[in-house]
A and B are shown apart, each in its own frame.
Chain A
């Protein structure tokens, strides 16, 4: 429970209020006193039971209702808690405790509008209500009103000291308002003194979302020995390492996680992708096979295995993996992978059928059209070429930001002796991706055919510069190991 302390505070206040009345010692009050004792001992169930008796005996007493709502909230039953808290507020609209707790629960239940209204009322009544200020800051963060959230949360540092989740929310608001250094400072507060591991993990996740990978890595690493879900943690550490460019470390983290049986399915998937990207395809396949055993119901794992098999040109195996993945979770990506594997395995009819099915099922998926179109160009037959052109054009209609269909269509126009049409495709593609060396190389070919030799020369120079930047130096790869 993120806001357990608030409720304990409320119960204490309620109880002390009740104690003032204890001279009369009504039976309801006696149950409330008993509840207080149970709550202090941590026996929430008994406390709840005692308070229910008190409410039953004295249903119009807002204090008992507030206390019962508080205990239910501490037990995690926010909806039931809110029933009692709402009654309490109705009976005593001026009581800030019950309204505060109601707002806190509403925030946690995602009832942001209601929470916001209650907190506005509290702050109108008492602008110095720090808890209400804090809660409105948290609600504002959820509402993506990051500037207001940051302003509210940074105004109550003493509450944040009690509620470290607030630092995480404040950091998120800072990130979203471009105040990265402030965000990092806020997250630093989770480390010293060390906050609850779950809160630190939350902070790490916020840093990840903000692409602040090294900070995320620091936060995740700090709870390595205490965070209960080790698999999720290791997966996040590896992802942070990977995204901050520490590929070798990331790979090591994941390999150790795999070895210690601490890998999540997403961790396995990331590891496979890393190994495959660096050309260690057989290792990637071994890991993928292990992942498929550990997570036989994960479509992501199976489609990743399929993609590694596809790269290794184990086409029939890839077909089998993608087929299983498609049964578990059909997606455009899985269908596309399956069709590509079928195509390369020589199952052209099946591949065609899968592609056609994918295009019916996911009519807005541009990539499927593009991949299908590109494959159809392989054999150079006029029929397939005509279909390929239609598919590539359709892919472009679906995704105007795509460069690949433009590139393919430009090459086709060039081959067909239509440099002017090729020019149009390439010029727009280069606007979208000026650093793709292929586009400049193709454009130089177009200019040459248009007799624009000077422009061709310029494009060749750009191509050469971009290509030089892409080229690795002398490498000790094995022959055949790095070829596509």
Chain B
């Protein structure tokens, strides 16, 4: 555990003062870049070349999970790969950084057997698909994807062929583990991006300079749904589930119960294709309700360039709202769930429109960074057109990440002046995952950079609110409890959070839940857990400022 007693420089405190909008006393940066001190030096390989294959500009993902179950969250990073005219001197490799618990990390990817990929890597979804207590890895890419089973001894085995989840011939982007049929086993949904080939580059130029073609030059593809048979194999259920006709350029996906019926639904962010809101019909099929729920398009009826997506209760009404990252000028969108369909787009009213107009967004996640009880938002950005600055003075190729504070009503304020130097710098950021890497009850952030090392941001909010954390373990439900809904009552407030899977872009988050309880929290709280199996469990007298492991009653 890190030392939380910070020595405050009086002059700095006086200068920064009290942030009037957040109530957070910002004596130091809200987040501190600890990448180098943590020993993280791995770099992503995109295979960037003169051919400008679009895939070079799109990766890669990051997963936070405790792979060795030692109580500390580890970090898995997906590399891209080589392209025909961009060969690496050393083979591109993934990284699995084992958290040593002292602020340091050790790359054990080679030892674990997850270092090399037989394809161009994109994203990662980590979850315990066989309920053996150890998180496994599904790594997406082109022209196939792979499932690595966690052996529980620090190694993984590639079980793709046996499992039948290779997603062959597809360009897989984000993937999500979720139990869509309620059988207690995690199934797998893969968002496929576009028809693509490394044999024939598409040539595009912008004002005479070669650059990546727009997404519309690539035909979209259908997603894939694999049903978990429970014996280590999966069945392709795409057609049976009614998903095979949903052609489009899918990138981001999150699984969450949107309509409150206790069954997990899917929100799929798509690039210049209408977003999908796949409502679980309880019979193994899904129905796309995005158009009638008014989350498919913008208010003018245009599909935006959806990349990342996340869901969370940003207004405190107990329903999940969605954020979708888009292209510059399109604004990253906020769809607020009013408790019924259709959703209300509050992109402008929330402040997101003006805050994100210049950015091309990728990973995004709702997190309560200051534990005040409201879900804030972190978004990473970065353009794909290397020469965009030749024509646009308000848009840059490298772009800063955004840390946005929520006032509790879904209105966001940019915290860049207080958030730390990283939020003033510009990157080609892509994947983003959040989790409590130092188990201090404050959410940390990892994001990836194209062709570069990731950035590890330690949450250093000086006077964060009280908190309570949960690690749920399903018994009748899937062991990760993906799909569980937890409501914490503090007397005045009822906070609702979900254990989602997916969310952000190409990435996978800490599956523990942290509830920020603010400055005036009672010493004990009550939690109501809606397990994916349908069981509702109430637990009272839970002490704050610690994690609670709760096992689903059998």
With A377-B348, A380-B348, A483-B327 as contacts: A477 and B299 at CB distance below 8 Å: no
Assuming the contacts A478-B385, A480-B384, asked whether A441 and B297 have C-beta atoms less than 8 A apart, the reply is yes
Contacts of B354 in A (CB 8 A): 378-380
CA distance A472 to B272 in the complex (A): 12
Interface residues of B in 252-307 (CB under 8 A from A): 291-292, 294, 297, 299-301, 305
Please state if B388 and A480 are interface contacts (CB–CB under 8 Å).
Answer: yes
Which of B301, B353, B395 makes the CB contact (< 8 A) with A441? B301
Q: How far is the CA of A437 from the CA of B395 in the complex (A)?
A: 29
Q: Is A38 engaged at the interface, CB distance under 8 Å to the other chain?
A: no
**Do A479 and B215 touch (CB < 8 A)?**
yes
A312 and B292 contact, Cβ closer than 8 Å, known pairs A474-B217, A474-B219: no
> Which listed residue, A312, A377, A445, touches B294 by the CB 8 Å rule?
A445
- A192 within 8 Å of B by Cβ? no
* Interface assignment of B88: CB less than 8 Å from any CB of chain A: no
How many Å from the CB of B151 to the closest CB on chain A? 41
B301 in contact with A478 (CB, 8 Å): no
**A198 within 8 Å of B (CB atoms):** no
Q: Is the CB of B204 within 8 A of A463?
A: no
Judged by a CB distance under 8 angstroms, whether B528 is at the interface is no
The segment from B108-116, B205-213, B431-439, B449-457 found at the interface with A is B205-213
Q: Contacting B292 at CB < 8 Å: which of A313, A456, A474, A479?
A: A456
Tell yes or no: A449 within 8 A of B by CB: yes
Query: In this assembly, does B239 line the interface, its C-beta being within 8 Å of a C-beta of chain A?
Result: no
- B429 CB to nearest A CB, Å: 16
Q: Which of B301, B330, B353, B354 has the most CB of A within 10 A?
A: B301
A415–B219 Cα gap in the complex (Å)? 34
In the assembled complex, A411 has its CB within 8 A of some CB on chain B: yes
Question: Known: A380-B353, A460-B291. Contact between A478 and B204, CB under 8 A?
Answer: yes
Complex CA gap A480/B326 in Å reads: 12
Q: Which of A411, A445, A460 has the most CB of B within 10 A?
A: A445
Q: Given A380-B348, A441-B297, decide whether A477 and B213 contact each other with a Cβ distance below 8 A.
A: yes
**Shortest CB distance A271–B (Å):** 17
Say if the beta carbon of B329 comes within 8 Å of chain A. yes
B342 touches A478 (CB 8 A): no
Q: Report which residue of B204, B385, B391 has the largest number of chain A beta carbons within 10 angstroms of its beta carbon.
A: B391
Contact B353 A378 (CB under 8 A): yes
Q: Using a CB-CB cutoff of 8 Å, which residues 459-484 of chain A contact chain B?
A: 460, 463, 467, 472, 474-484
In contact, B214 and A478 (Cβ under 8 angstroms): yes
Instruction: State the CA gap A246–B213 with chains docked (Å).
Output: 27
Chain B residues closer than 8 Å to A438, beta-carbon distance: 300-301
* Complex A-B, nearest 6 residue pairs according to Cβ-Cβ distance, in ascending order: A441-B301, A478-B206, A480-B385, A380-B349, A478-B204, A380-B348
Name A residues whose Cβ lies closer than 8 Å to a Cβ of B: 281-282, 312-315, 377-380, 411, 415, 437-438, 440-442, 445, 448-449, 456, 460, 463, 467, 472, 474-484
Which B residues form the contact surface with A (CB < 8 A)?
54, 57, 202-207, 211-219, 291-292, 294, 297, 299-301, 305, 327-330, 342, 344, 348-351, 353-354, 360, 383-385, 388, 390-395
Can you identify 19 A-B contacts, CB atoms within 8 angstroms?
A313-B393, A379-B354, A415-B344, A440-B301, A448-B342, A456-B292, A460-B291, A467-B301, A475-B214, A476-B217, A477-B204, A479-B57, A479-B214, A480-B206, A480-B214, A480-B327, A480-B385, A481-B214, A483-B305
